[in-house]
Structure 1
Amino acid sequence: MPLARRLTLTDAVSIGLGSMIGAGVFAVWAPALGAAGSGILLALALAAVVAFCNATSSAQLAAVHPVSGGTYSYARAEIGPWAGFAAGWCFVIGKVASCAAMAMTFAAYAAPEGWRVPVAALAVAALAAVNCFGVTRTALLTRILVVVSLLGLAVVVAAGVSSAPGASPAPLPDATVYGVLQGAGLLFFAFAGYARIATMGEEVADPARSIPRAIVLALGGAIVVYALVGLSVMLVLGSDATGSAHPVADVVAAAGWTWAGPVVRIAAATASLGALLALLTGIGRTTLAMAREADLPRWLSAVDARWQVPRRAEITIGVIVIVVVLIADLRGAIGFSSFGVLLYYLLANASAFRQGADARRFPKTLQVLGALGCLVLVSTLPPVASLIGSLVVLCGLAYRMLRLRLTRTR
């Protein structure tokens, strides 16, 4: 059964922003500043350039293939089944880690120390349940969460502007080329939300027109927000931000805006929930597309007759994310997520590069630059994250090889 086309352009932009705002602003500054040091803005610019190249590839592909699954479906159509599987598998494992990171970030701002893990797990369960009752409810809730998040971030930027002239933060370490590249790789984790729009291509009205516009609009809005908040964190906190669990909240505290502390915490928790909701939705759609082709168990391809959502996939992903929340930490989740997502976009650029002139909306130069950027950034991620990511990717490829052999034997 196909999914219903119920999402408007505004809905799609909201889902993209909801995926990016929570991830970048509230979860990634400490590890990114620790890696890039005084070159944090250069790292942000580099991550934005790579993200823009990838976004144009995703937009070009989505206009021609307006189906669920994102780059899994695109690579399968443009390159072949193995490339499609690799893209889909990298997306699922990377975004499962992203979901865990968002749930942990929510709990860090919303719950006391001893309650953060169970609160994070409950948040995943609650939002997975929301996704089971229709995509229009998901889009409406995401839009509300984005508005609340942006209002809170406006308070953070205002506090940063007011205190920056008189602030004397601890100096950041000098930037190195490797550090800037690693910081860009970690910051890329924040930009990857626009993929959520593409993975929901089967549910967007007028997809050939709406999806490319929604991707560019959501990414452009997120870049502006990241730049303003990152500058505030750097100018007010300096190197103190690298050891903080909530650097954005620390900006208002350092500015003396004590009344704004609860406002920022609410905004942070809200943004994290918005990102988590949109992430769970995107993973469910990719899982649905992979299950339809038997690259994941076929029983995950069932679409609920009443609500027209892949309920089994949504519930399964929710359970897996809860398990990751129980065993992982935030920094490790961010690094692992960046590894999977960068490989996913490497295949997106390769797929767009292979499209013919009739489908081309952007020059091939952008796809080459995007692919090279993905390769460079993934090679500079923390070694442990890259090692674990490589092992999980190989396990996925081995699973598909074994399934194909068993199918031929039967």
Structure 2
Amino acid sequence: MSSTPSSASGVPDELQRRLGVPDAVMIGLGSMIGAGIFASLAPAARAAGSGLLLGLALAAVVAFCNATSSARLAALYPASGGTYVYGRERLGEFWGYLAGWAFIVGKTASCAAMALTVGSYIWPGQAHSVAVAAVVALTAVNYAGVQKSALLTRIIVAVVLAVLAAVVVASLTSSAVATARLSIGTDATAGGVLQAAGLLFFAFAGYARIATLGEEVRDPARTIPRAIPIALGITLVVYATVAVSVLLVLGPNGLASAGAPLTAAARAAGADWLVPAVRIGAAIAALGSLLALILGVSRTTLAMARDHHLPHGLAAVHPTFKVPHRAELLVGAVVATAAATVDVRGAIGFSSFGVLAYYAIANASAWTLRAAEGRPARIIPAIGLAGCLVLAFALPLPSVITGAAVLVVGAAAYGICRATARQR
């Protein structure tokens, strides 16, 4: 069954194509170069030790395959929803639904976590209140139109890149690196490297936001395949540069034990003056991630509502701003409630599992493409699918159990709804 952007009430429910390649690239960068780089290096280093860079490279390979598969599918199906649409069209309604379910549940938890990250950096004593205020503010920005979101994302990306560049320069020019030895893999295990890759992959996953905005991109067949690899390539260069510089200053053990790796690197490099800027950069990066996450979740909600997997009223598009305003308001309300009442920062491991399941379905969908449909080389979706499954089950056991449970609940809900519909 295909999504049909139509409304019996006569209210316009088609989004408007306003984003070009630069805007799409910026939205991808805002999703990937976010709070993850400030927080993901330490747990990855604890898992892989000096094999951190191997884990980063493995995550990048899987991300490249996923990005290529997603880009080809997004060019063929330029509608909101991303892999929800691809899975439905190529593999069947259930697989599309499962991808959408994994994305919405996992990324909603990530939204709350990013909001709390903002609060913990800006005003630790009132983290929940600041988190709610951040969600309300960014929901309002998204409500005003996707171009406003793209403009704010440009500003956020510029600030975060400036902070990261300052940390890299301070680290590489400090006396601490004069005697450093960057050993790679000497104390790493295969399991540790795979686990680190699974943790680091989460930071690359933001390019999905470009695909989920497929209905708001100009000339999607040209724009999306260009924007996704550009955004991914820039992010890989930034992450690799930051990881190398921080490893040189702190070493694998120092990085693994650091609560705030970039702040610790600035102090170790003798640049204490940079610490406040890093804190501000982390908060702004979390805001950028939150902005892009709300965009992506609301668009997938829109697509699933069009197919009646969610209440159909959520498929409405604002007649002036041309955004899925009801979906955005619902997502904002759910995220604000979670951010106000629960500290989910330590309980979102299943989000990584869900993201990898989501991309596994994307790669399986790309495998079914024919040559005339712009199929990538078969090896790309094959590596992407296998890589997603391996990394998903290499995550810490609690993350695997929780993530698998979320998928089972979603599958059960789908089965119950289908059985109920048949009885009517």
Q: TM class, shorter-chain normalised?
A: over 0.9
AA paired with 2:224?
I
Of the candidates 81, 92, 101, which is equivalent to residue 69 of structure 1? 81
Structure 1 counterpart SS, 2:323: coil
1:381 matched to 2:395? The reply is: yes
1:143 matched to 2:157? The reply is: no
AA paired with 2:193?
V
AA paired with 2:420?
L
2:142 aligned residue? 131
AA paired with 1:174?
D
Of the candidates 48, 63, 69, which is equivalent to residue 51 of structure 1? 63
Aligned residue runs from structure 1 range 256-405, under 5 A: 256-325=270-339, 326-333=341-348, 335-405=349-419
Do the aligned partners of 2:99 and 2:357 also contact (CA within 8 Å) in 1? yes
Aligned residue runs from structure 1 range 67-216, under 5 A: 67-112=79-124, 114-163=125-174, 164-166=176-178, 174-216=187-229
* Shift, 1:111, TM fit: 2.1
Do the aligned partners of 2:367 and 2:375 also contact (CA within 8 Å) in 1? no
Query: Structure 2 regions of 5+ residues with no counterpart?
Result: 1-12
Summarize deviations over 1:102-145 as a string: whole Å, max 9, x none.
22332333223x22232223212221121111111011101111
Superposition misfits of 4+ residues, deviation over 4 angstroms: 167-173
Do the aligned partners of 2:138 and 2:291 also contact (CA within 8 Å) in 1? yes
1:25 aligned residue? 37
1:222 aligned residue? 235
Report the CA distance shift for 1:276/1:169 in structure 2 as closer, same or farther (over 3 A). farther
Between 1:162-171 and 1:96-105, the stretch displaced more is: 162-171
Report the CA distance shift for 1:312/1:215 in structure 2 as closer, same or farther (over 3 A). same
Aligned equivalents of 2:182 and 2:62: distance in 1? 30
Aligned equivalents of 1:332 and 1:243: distance in 2? 20
* Shift, 1:361, TM fit: 4.6
AA paired with 1:255?
A
Summarize deviations over 1:250-278 as a string: whole Å, max 9, x none.
21121111222222222221111111101
Between 1:397-406 and 1:273-282, the stretch displaced more is: 397-406
Q: TM-score, normalised on structure 1?
A: 0.95
Aligned residues: 408
* Shift, 1:31, TM fit: 1.2
Between 1:278-287 and 1:242-251, the stretch displaced more is: 242-251
AA paired with 2:248?
L
Q: TM-score, normalised on structure 2?
A: 0.92
Do the aligned partners of 2:171 and 2:177 also contact (CA within 8 Å) in 1? no
AA paired with 1:42?
L
Do the aligned partners of 1:109 and 1:246 also contact (CA within 8 Å) in 2? no
Do the aligned partners of 2:74 and 2:211 also contact (CA within 8 Å) in 1? yes
* Shift, 1:395, TM fit: 1.2
Do the aligned partners of 2:144 and 2:321 also contact (CA within 8 Å) in 1? yes
AA paired with 1:98?
S
Structure 2 counterpart SS, 1:358: helix
Structure 1 counterpart SS, 2:273: helix
Summarize deviations over 1:6-55 as a string: whole Å, max 9, x none.
11111000000000001431121121111111100000000000000000
Aligned equivalents of 1:309 and 1:371: distance in 2? 32
Summarize deviations over 1:312-347 as a string: whole Å, max 9, x none.
1112212222344332442432x2211000000000
Report the CA distance shift for 1:243/1:124 in structure 2 as closer, same or farther (over 3 A). farther
Question: What do you get for the CA RMSD once the two structures are aligned?
Answer: 1.8
Between 1:130-139 and 1:195-204, the stretch displaced more is: 130-139
* Shift, 1:390, TM fit: 1.4
Query: Structure 1 regions of 5+ residues with no counterpart?
Result: none
Aligned equivalents of 1:380 and 1:324: distance in 2? 28
Do the aligned partners of 2:156 and 2:284 also contact (CA within 8 Å) in 1? yes
